[in-house]
Amino acid sequence: MFKKTAKETIAIQTKLVMPNDTNPMDTLFGGRLMAWMDEIASISAFRHSGRICVTASINNVSFEHPIVAGDFVTLEAKVSRAFNSSMEIFVDVSVEDAMGKRKKCNEAIFVFVAIDQFRNPIQIPDLVPETELEQKRFDSALRRKQLSLVLAGRMKPSEATELQSIFETE
């Protein structure tokens, strides 16, 4: 099966935060941002696999700075590693205020699974990292996959080869 570079999987979207996207504190509702991140990550997953993909897990969502109505929010999704049918996708979120000042405000890590017409997981292309950051995220992705599987009850801690220092087993 052919390979794809991380760059080929990039999906970018910019949103204007409207009053109906905000909570009673007038900051962006976290659930709305989650939906935007899920959507952009699914586009990146499709660009990598060329298949319909479903969200298998969402890990490490962090909300570092509040986002307010009128801000421009840019979401960038990129596949960091592909396994057999699953792929890890980083979503980096930055915000631009009314003065044009831009800063990174959120990050999330998604796992998507490519499926066939019967909803069965299907093989996807390998991913080739090119930049230093892409290589770093690629190298650490197996550790995060195992952690996600252990937390979901899909893997025994004793089988998580990359996590032995966390799950000390006799």
Ligand X SMILES: CC(C)(COP(=O)(O)OP(=O)(O)OC[C@H]1O[C@@H](n2cnc3c(N)ncnc32)[C@H](O)[C@@H]1OP(=O)(O)O)[C@@H](O)C(=O)NCCC(=O)NCCS
Q: Does 121 bind ligand X (CB under 6 A)?
A: yes
Scanning 54-62, 92-100, 102-110, 130-138 for contacts with ligand X by CB under 6 A, the matching segment is 54-62
Q: How far is CA 55 from CA 40, 64, 86, 88, 150, in A?
A: 12, 23, 10, 10, 17
d(CA 5, CA 126): 9
Q: Does 77 bind ligand X (CB under 6 A)?
A: no
**Number of C-beta neighbours around residue 162 at 10 A:** 14
Q: Does 86 bind ligand X (CB under 6 A)?
A: yes
Q: Which is nearer to ligand X, 46 or 72 (CB)?
A: 46
Token reading at 56: 């298998």
In 3D space, the residue among 89, 29, 25 whose CA is nearest the CA of residue 57 turns out to be: 89
Q: Does 67 bind ligand X (CB under 6 A)?
A: no
Q: Does 84 bind ligand X (CB under 6 A)?
A: yes
Q: Does 60 bind ligand X (CB under 6 A)?
A: no
In 3D space, the residue among 125, 138, 109 whose CA is nearest the CA of residue 51 turns out to be: 125
Residue with tokens 């490519």: 114
Q: Does 72 bind ligand X (CB under 6 A)?
A: no
In 3D space, the residue among 52, 136, 50, 48 whose CA is nearest the CA of residue 87 turns out to be: 48
Q: Pick the binder of ligand X from 12, 16, 18, 54 (CB under 6 A).
A: 54
Q: Pick the binder of ligand X from 29, 63, 72, 83 (CB under 6 A).
A: 83
Scanning 15-23, 26-34, 100-108, 109-117 for contacts with ligand X by CB under 6 A, the matching segment is 109-117
Give contact residues for ligand X (rule: CB under 6 A): 54-57, 83-86, 111, 113, 115, 119, 121, 145, 148-149, 152, 154
